[in-house]
Amino acid sequence: MGRLVGILVAVVVAVLGMPAPAQGTGGGALVRTDHGVVRGTVEETVRVFQGIPYAAPPGDALRWRAPQPARPWRGTLDATAPRESCAQPASAVGNPQSFNEDCLYLNVTAPRRGHRLPVMVWIHGGAYTNGNGASYDARKLAVEGDVLVVTINYRLGAFGFLTLPGLSGNLGLADQQAALRWVRRNAAAFGGDPGRVTIFGESAGGGSVCMHLASPTATGLFHRAIAQSYGCSWAIPTVAAAEQAGAAFATRAGCPDAAADCLRRVPVADLLRAWTGGGPAAGGEIVPVQPAEALRTDRFHHVPLLMGSTLDEMRLFVSLANDALGRPVTPEGYEQTVRTAYGARAEEVLRRYPVAAYPTPSIALSTVQTDFGTQRSTCEHLRTYRAAAARPFAVAVYAYQFVDRTAPPLVDVPGFDEGAEHASELSFLFPNIFGRALTPAQETLSAAMVRYWANFARTGNPNGARLPAWHRFRSAERVQSLGLGPAGIHPADIAGPSNCDFWLG
């Protein structure tokens, strides 16, 4: 009888293309994926599998080509240590330089025991230029949330987002979708439910979530979406504009004819030096229209959304560009920047945001930019909430604002008050990511946020027992404020304090 069952399982696996579980692995270190067996690390409460290939190494002839299937392996793949980051320059926030193109790997963190768990796929940020999946320790989210967490690498910079005629653009997004297809095929082998996949990311990772919401090629790959610190209504470059930037890049890289064969011969270090920045472009197969247009015309995936930003988003960027370099913004510099950025509205902006009303001109500038003017701005997020929740094609939107001004900062600039700056909420989902432990009060907020995020992945609704009620977004007054203390989590108005009637009027 046992042999017959085994034969039937093998037949089902072969027909459906599903991975069979490795024999005797219930909660153990061995898992059979569709490409072979992997050996991870078993801890008291979790199992961790690192460095699993989800696509072929995209170097040499595969540079600037769509992700190709990984090669199956014989024996057991050691998945006890992460693989190297994708090629990237060193960053101002501590990411080390990498010249590596063999980088399309992912990591799985699963509770020690679990069956048909919600799956959360984390897309890291880093301006589409820096970062990696392995930096995010998902143990807390997996154990306290009772979810399976997958963190991924994807091609960055020129390797993932160069657009030229004859070369595929948006390859970093294509990599992310290849990882999601791996998840669909393999989640069950790790105890996950491939029918409940949530994509979530912050900054460029949140932007990637916005792109997948508008991407026809992402159909069926996820069932809920969380975008942190990126407003989906923000315009991205068109393919035509990206191709112009790509041609200039190719010239700097030594290939003025922008020929693919020439660019594939250029060393990684030279390509990193030539790249001046860039990300997804609108047009083509993966992101055919602007995400804002997709929301406006009902061309986006109708899945529940959890979205939000931090109270002081732009303090990180203002401090890195000014105070961290020893040249804080001056009153004159503040006025000049406002006049350049806001043009005909500058006088009204200066009247609403007088420099003397803030501790420093740097804080004044970051306050203006946090309210409006970038994809991270509060009012830009509000625009997205309204668009996604609008009838007749409304989806469930749960909006938040993270307000703990004592949170560990991404970069600690001496003499600068970082507040609840960009990325400051990450320590509450991924402990110690910035090398600083949370206080007891912050641990309480962290526990609530983990449960909110996991509940949302489980049901499409963040609410649950012993949690303050989180109302579905219907107006700017129904945004969940995430702060410290017994009354720190509550509905709040974001439009009034951020002058959104002025900015969006």
Spatial contact of 280 and 155, defined as CB atoms under 8 Å apart: no
- d(CA 339, CA 334) in angstroms, rounded, equals 9
In the numeric block, which tokens belong to residue 484?
């410290």
In the numeric block, which tokens belong to residue 429?
């989902």
- d(CA 431, CA 438) in angstroms, rounded, equals 8
Query: Residues with Cβ < 8 Å from 101, sequence gap 6 or more?
Result: 57, 58, 59, 63, 86, 87, 159, 268
3-state secondary structure of 272: helix
According to the 3-state scheme, what is the secondary structure of 421-454?
Answer: ECCCCHHHCCCCCCCCCCCHHHHHHHHHHHHHHH
> Which residues does the annotation mark as catalytic?
203, 313, 422
First to last CA, the chain: 72
In the numeric block, which tokens belong to residue 399?
């909006």
CA 113 vs CA 24, 30, 110: distances in Å:
14, 14, 8
Spatial contact of 180 and 149, defined as CB atoms under 8 Å apart: no
Sheet architecture: strand order including 36-39: 30-33, 36-39, 76-78
Query: Residues with Cβ < 8 Å from 199, sequence gap 6 or more?
Result: 121, 123, 180, 208, 209, 212, 221, 222, 224, 225, 226
Pairing of strands 46-53, 397-402: unpaired
